[in-house]
Amino acid sequence: MIPKVFKEVIDLGDGREISIETGKLAKQAHGSVVVRSGKCMLLCTVVSNYKQSDVDFLPLTVDYREKFAASGRYPGGFFKREARPSDGEVLTMRLVDRVLRPLFPKDYHAETQVMIQLMSHDEDVMPDAMAGLAASAAIQLSDFPFECPISEARVGRINGEFIINPTRAQLLESDIDMMIGASADSVMMVEGEMDEISEEEMADAIKFAHEAIKEQCAAQVRLAEAFGKKEVREYAPERTDEDLAKKIHDMAYDKVYAIAKAGSAKHERSAAFDAIKEEIKATFSEEELEDFGGMVSKYYYQAEKEAIRDLTLNEGLRLDGRKTDEIRPIWCEVDYLPSTHGSAVFTRGETQALATVTLGTSREANQIDMPSYEGEERFYLHYNFPPFSTGEARPIRGTSRREIGHGNLAQRALKGMVPDDSPYTVRVVSEILESNGSSSMATVCAGTMALMDAGVQLIKPVSGIAMGLISDGDSGKYAVLSDILGDEDHLGDMDFKVTGTADGITACQMDIKVKGLSYEILVNALKQARDGRLHILDKITETIDKPNAEVKEHAPTMVTRRIPNEFIGALIGPGGKVIQEMQKETDTTIVINEDPVTEEGIVEILGVGKKGIDAVLAKIDSLLFKPEVGSIYEVKVIKMLDFGAVVEYTQAPGNEVLLHVSELAWERTENVSDVVNMGDVFDVKYFGIDSRTRKEKVSRKAILPKPEGYVARPPRDDNRSGGRDNNRGRDNRGRDNRRDDRKPRENKRED
């Protein structure tokens, strides 16, 4: 039986469309859709168990995978099968998760899985921009308790004009690359990179994307209504006890407020809060705690959150005693590690990052091999968050999604300030040594200083800051918090990280937890973030105000040289012999790439010390050396022959030419050694290609004075009598000058 298919189409306004279809594929899932734009197709399925899990959180898994078959390719590596997700896939998972998770009820704890797969790829469509739409559309067709449809959209700007879901080619021309996640009513997530834009421009980009998202949300509603909206499933809610909640609130609120107002350090404050909690639990019997002990902890944390928020809204004070716009104390240091190519320590309050920089050739570029994109990164950043940074001991199970996301944010913040003509491949690694609030922004600051310490010629230094928001929707009061603590991240209404130079924003990441946040509050928060950014930037430039002019003595120097395409083979040599020997002799690394536009060879020479690099450059100069006709050059004898001497140009070692015996001197030379010997250095004149021998001709005698009475030998007369042919009694004409009285074969037969 042919299944009934339901479909909705979204017009992007420039001839492009996005369609959402259901009813054909994966019908046993609780909800499934195929989202298509051009030839790009995403299949999204959602399933949620009907039994609540025995946990106090939502066990939601968002999985995004790109199938290599979608672009007609094989997976790389030995096993030709998709394996662990790539960093690009993980970043897409995080984008979708951050928008979906807040819209499930807080007491919904059923195992829930969202799976999004790229089934068909289109070079002109970036699939990650449609992943949020696919996830939400599938949920709308399910019976999950989910607040409202959402979607995500990418926004770019080309020549001052915003565009929704630009192609990868268009992004190369765009000064904005932002992903916005929102419902029809509220913006919930923002992440992206920009070319030093203003706070107002960023807000305008968010507004533009939000308008497109509203249309995508409306399309999901229409699809669900046409398909048949399911009744929301029933589930066992958490136990509640309003009397118990009030009792614990009355016992905890004032004490928490007093401790919060005292402005203590992280561990001291945590210990004091734990003591209040234990004191409250001690008022209950063991039987009561066994019955509703989990509720005691939950209601205590609610009271703690309320007290801390009220302290900030009422008195403008924070947990560590700072005012709302105050930045924690900062100290910095560069060149901390003696053997790295560049290093820096950045400490802000109880957050500390140690960044290192390693310089390399294009051979060390980070290779990206995804079905939707193949390329390489010449600048990349890795972020590590070990458990000791928060005073914890826990298993280490590889790189976490959080580490990938934070590292990507810091990379996007810095990469635009690395010059396009930087010859190096640059790897930055951030080790978080302490954490209490925005280690990703500490990574940006430490990375900036480490790059400048390494001699990477950053266009401008970059700083970053994490901001928070506490608001009271009833009274309209709100407080924007600069440089938030870890605790403030959890209890606030917005967590946003902003990076930039003194002239504008380079990257951002926002999670907005309240509905209907006004753009006025958003712009005010961004402007306060700018003040904080500039304050931190001042601290950075006090430590190191500009990039070091040279790399460190133990760091490699990179020199790039372009050579014509026809010389690449000669430089490499048969089987790579020439280039391998050159690297061994000069202790350098040589990489040769071809410019896809000009087809020139791009030679990268990486070496510690000037001597080896100069030797390679000399070899290249020798290879490219072209003497000019009529010019005089110094040469050195490198080989003696019976009929002349092989000489090489001293300014181009390895570039050889034969000096014929007849060009050594004006007098007749019987033996070459009568005039020159091995190792002799003298001048010769270059005559270009000899028309008779078809070889290059140089002469020593041409620049020597003629001996007195010298008589030049007459030139040979090829037509004179007595030649070799005449001695044999033959006519000296060629085959074409045979006797014309010879008759053709046919005529002979007739005669």
Parallel, antiparallel, or unpaired for β 557-563 and 601-607? antiparallel
Please report whether residue 722 resides in a domain: no
Q: What is the structure's pLDDT at 725?
A: 46
Looking at residue 127, the DSSP 8-state letter turns out to be G
Is residue 388 within 8 A of residue 439, CB to CB? The reply is no
Q: What is the structure's pLDDT at 715?
A: 57
pLDDT at 733 over 50: no
Helices 266-281 & 242-262, crossing angle to 10 degrees? 150
Mean pLDDT for the stretch of residues 330-340: 96
545 is in an annotated binding site: no
Q: How far apart are CA 115 and CA 403, in angstroms?
A: 22
Place of tokens 């009397």: 243
Give percent above pLDDT 90 in the chain. 64
For residue 503, the enclosing domain spans 330-392+401-543
pLDDT in tens, 503-555: 999 999 999 888 877 888 888 899 999 999 999 999 999 999 999 999 998 99
Q: What is the structure's pLDDT at 747?
A: 44
Looking at 455-587, list the stretches that DSSP marks H as alpha helix, in order from N- to C-terminal side.
486-491, 519-543, 568-572, 577-586
- Based on the domain organization, do 535 and 642 belong to the same domain? no
- Based on the domain organization, do 612 and 534 belong to the same domain? no
- Based on the domain organization, do 213 and 129 belong to the same domain? yes
Mean pLDDT for the stretch of residues 485-490: 86
- Based on the domain organization, do 305 and 198 belong to the same domain? no
pLDDT at 745 over 60: no
- Based on the domain organization, do 615 and 637 belong to the same domain? no
How does residue 78 score in pLDDT terms, banded at 50, 70 and 90?
confident
731 is in an annotated binding site: no
Please report whether residue 645 resides in a domain: yes
Q: Which of 403, 356, 408, 401 is nearest to 380 (CA)?
A: 408
Sign of CA dihedral 121, 125, 129, 135: negative
Please report whether residue 729 resides in a domain: no
Q: What is the structure's pLDDT at 724?
A: 46
- Based on the domain organization, do 306 and 344 belong to the same domain? no
Q: Could you say which of 287, 315, 343 is where a domain stops? A: 315
pLDDT at 723 over 90: no
Is residue 452 within 8 A of residue 550, CB to CB? The reply is no
- Based on the domain organization, do 339 and 267 belong to the same domain? no
Is residue 325 within 8 A of residue 531, CB to CB? The reply is yes
Please report whether residue 162 resides in a domain: yes
Give the 3-state secondary structure of residue 647.
Answer: strand
Angle, CA of 538, 542 and 544, to the nearest 5°: 115
Place of tokens 């309240």: 514
Please report whether residue 235 resides in a domain: no
Q: Could you say which of 227, 262, 288 is where a domain stops? A: 227
Q: How many domains does the chain have?
A: 5
**Where are the strands (E) in 121-226, listed by range?**
150-158, 161-164, 176-183, 187-197
pLDDT at 727 over 80: no
Mean pLDDT for the stretch of residues 315-334: 93
- Based on the domain organization, do 160 and 258 belong to the same domain? no
Structure tokens, 79: 């096993």
pLDDT in tens, 148-172: 999 999 999 999 999 999 999 999 9
How does residue 713 score in pLDDT terms, banded at 50, 70 and 90?
low
Place of tokens 């051979």: 363
- Phi, psi (rounded to 5 degrees) for 646: -90, 125
Please report whether residue 709 resides in a domain: no
Give the length of the chain: 751
Place of tokens 């099968």: 81
pLDDT at 133 over 50: yes
Is residue 131 within 8 A of residue 96, CB to CB? The reply is yes
Mean pLDDT for the stretch of residues 574-587: 90
Q: Which residues of 335-353 are buried (b: 16+ CB within 10 A; e: fewer)?
A: bbbeebbbbbbbbbbbbbb
CATH code, 637: 2.40.50.140
Please report whether residue 739 resides in a domain: no
Q: Which of 638, 424, 690, 731 is nearest to 547 (CA)?
A: 424
Q: How far apart are CA 209 and CA 216, in angstroms?
A: 11
State the greatest distance between any 2 C-alpha atoms of the chain, in Å, as a whole number.
143
Please report whether residue 658 resides in a domain: yes
- Based on the domain organization, do 581 and 666 belong to the same domain? no
- Based on the domain organization, do 538 and 597 belong to the same domain? no
- Based on the domain organization, do 68 and 116 belong to the same domain? yes
Place of tokens 């309050």: 349
Structure tokens, 111: 């195992």
For residue 638, count other CB atoms closer than 10 A to its CB: 14
pLDDT in tens, 614-630: 988 888 888 888 888 98
Is residue 183 within 8 A of residue 217, CB to CB? The reply is yes
Q: Which of 122, 121, 65 is nearest to 96 (CA)?
A: 65
pLDDT in tens, 628-679: 898 999 999 999 998 899 998 888 877 889 999 889 988 888 888 889 999 9
If phi > 0 it is left, if psi is from -120 to 50 it is alpha, else beta; for residue 156 that is: beta
Mean pLDDT for the stretch of residues 713-720: 56
Mean of the per-residue pLDDT values for the chain?
90
Mean pLDDT for the stretch of residues 4-30: 93
Mean pLDDT for the stretch of residues 13-20: 91
Q: How far apart are CA 256 and CA 299, in angstroms?
A: 13
Give the 3-state secondary structure of residue 58.
Answer: coil
- Phi, psi (rounded to 5 degrees) for 391: 70, 30
More confident residue, 542 or 569: 542
Q: How far apart are CA 9 and CA 7, in angstroms?
A: 7
Structure tokens, 729: 């009694």
Place of tokens 């712009």: 523
> Residues near 105 by Cβ (< 8 Å), separated by ≥ 6?
145
CATH code, 571: 3.30.1370.10
Q: What is the structure's pLDDT at 716?
A: 53
> Residues near 67 by Cβ (< 8 Å), separated by ≥ 6?
82, 117, 118, 119, 371
Q: How far apart are CA 115 and CA 61, in angstroms?
A: 8
- The lowest-confidence range among 197-211, 285-299, 447-461 is 285-299
Structure tokens, 660: 């014929």
Q: Could you say which of 178, 193, 227 is where a domain stops? A: 227
Q: What is the structure's pLDDT at 719?
A: 54
Give percent above pLDDT 70 in the chain. 95
CATH code, 155: 3.30.230.70
- Based on the domain organization, do 101 and 56 belong to the same domain? yes
